[in-house]
Structure 1
Amino acid sequence: MRQIVLDTETTGLEPEQGHRVIEIGCVELFNRRPTGRHFHQYLQPDREIDEGAAAVHGITAEFLADKPRFADVADEFLAFVSGAELVIHNAPFDLGFLNAELRRYGHNEPLSAICGVVDSLVLARQMHPGQRNSLDALCKRYGVNNEHRELHGALLDAQILADVYLVMTGGQTSLLADLQADNDPSPTVQTEVSPVHLDPNRPPLRVISASSDEIARHASIIDLISGAAEKGALWH
C-alpha cells in the first residue's frame, strides 16, 4: 500500500479568510517502508503572513518572494499524491487549505476524492483518550527524537509524523532517516534520500499465532465483557 505522510504551513488559520498554503511537505511510504521519495515546495502566497503563523514556522514573505505559486506546482503535487492514502495530523486543517488552493487552480474535486485519508490525530485520540496528542506529545510518548525541531516545517513535520505513525500503528521504530528541511529555493524535490535506520533487506518479523487454548480463553473473556456491557463488546 502506498501512503503519503503530508503536512503544510500556511499564512494563517482560516482558508475562508483568504489565507494560503506556503509550504507543502510529503514523505512516501510503500508497505510501511520509506521509499526515499518526497515532495517539498515553498510557495508564494501573494498575501501577508499573520504574525502568529510566522512565530510558529518562521517563514517570511521575503523568503517566499521568488518562490512559485501553487498553480505552478499543482499538477506535480497531484501526480505525487494521487491514488495514495494520505496520513495527516489534524487532517481537516491541511485538507481545507489544500482543497481551497485546488479550487483556485480550477480543480474542484477534493483531495479525499482521489486519495484515502487517515487522520493520525483522530487515531491518537482513540488510542490515548484524555491525553495530549499533539505531534510533540506523541514524539515524547513513543520515543521519537524531535530535538532538531525548533520551528515547524512541513517536510520536517511530515518526516517526524511518519516515524510516529509507524510506531503508533505497528510498533516499528524510527524507520525514516533524519532529513533536514532545507531552505533551497529550487523547485519540487523528488529524489533519493539517506538510507533508513534499519536494513530494508532484513528478514520479515516473525509472526506468532495464538494457540487454540488462548483463542478459546480470549473468546470467553469477550463473552463476559459482552454480557456486562450495555452495548456489548466491540471486539465481537
Structure 2
Amino acid sequence: MQVFKDKTILVTGANRGIGKSLVSALLNHGATKIYATCRNLKSMPLLADDRIVPLQLDITDDEQIAQIANVALDTEILINNAGTLNPGNMLQGELLGMEHDLAVNYFGTIKMMRAFAPILVKNRPSTMINIVSITAYSPLPSIAGYAASKAALYSATLSVRIELAKDGVTVYAVNPGAIDTDMNKGSDWEMPDPDTTAVKILDYVSAGKLDIVPDDMGQGMYAAWREDPEKLSKMFSDLYYLEK
C-alpha cells in the first residue's frame, strides 16, 4: 500500500534522529512535499531535495504553531516526532526537566494535534503518526519524567484515534525502544540506527498496523508487557539497579 506516495507530509523534530531519518525514508517512498520542522533552522542538515520545505517550529510556542498551520494547509500526513528527554528519577530528579518533558512531549504534541486535526479532516483520507516510546507501557526510573510524559502522550494518542476515526483520519502510535540517536548518546546499550528504524515505521504504517514497535529491543519489552505487565516492570527495575 503506497500510503506516502504523492502526499504532503509535515515532520516535527526533523533535524536529527528518527525525524531526520523519516524525512529521507519518506523521500524514498515518493512523497510530493515534506515540511521539515525544527526549533532552530541552523541545526537543520542540508537537505538537497526540492520537495523539502524547512520551517522553524517550537511545538511549545502557540504562535509558531498557528503560523505553521496557516502555511501547511495542504498537509495530508502529520508526523509528531519532536521530543525531549531529561534524565532523573521521580523522587529526586530535577522538576524543571520533568516539566519541560511534559511541555514538549505531551502538551506540545497535543497542541500540534489540535492545530492540524481540522487540516487533516479537510484533506482526508489522511494520517497522523505520533512517535511515543516503549516507556509508555512501563517507566524506566532513571528517566521517570520522560516516561510519564510518553505514557500521557500514548493515552492522548489513543483518545485522538477514537475522536478522528469517524472523520477519515487514521492515527498511529509508534513505541520504539532505545534507538541510537543523540537522545541516547553515551549509552552502552546495543541499539538500532535511526535510518533502519524509520524504514520499519513506514513499512508498518503502510501495512495498517496502528500500534507500532519498530525495533527488536522494544518488541521484546512489549512482548513481556503483553504477557504480564509485571514482567516489563521487573526488566526496567533490573536495568535501573544495574545502572546505579
Same fold flag (TM > 0.5): no
What is the TM-score with the length of structure 1 in the denominator? 0.28
More helix by share: 2
Name the larger-Rg structure. 1
Structure of greater relative contact order (alpha carbons < 8 Å, 6+ residues apart): 1
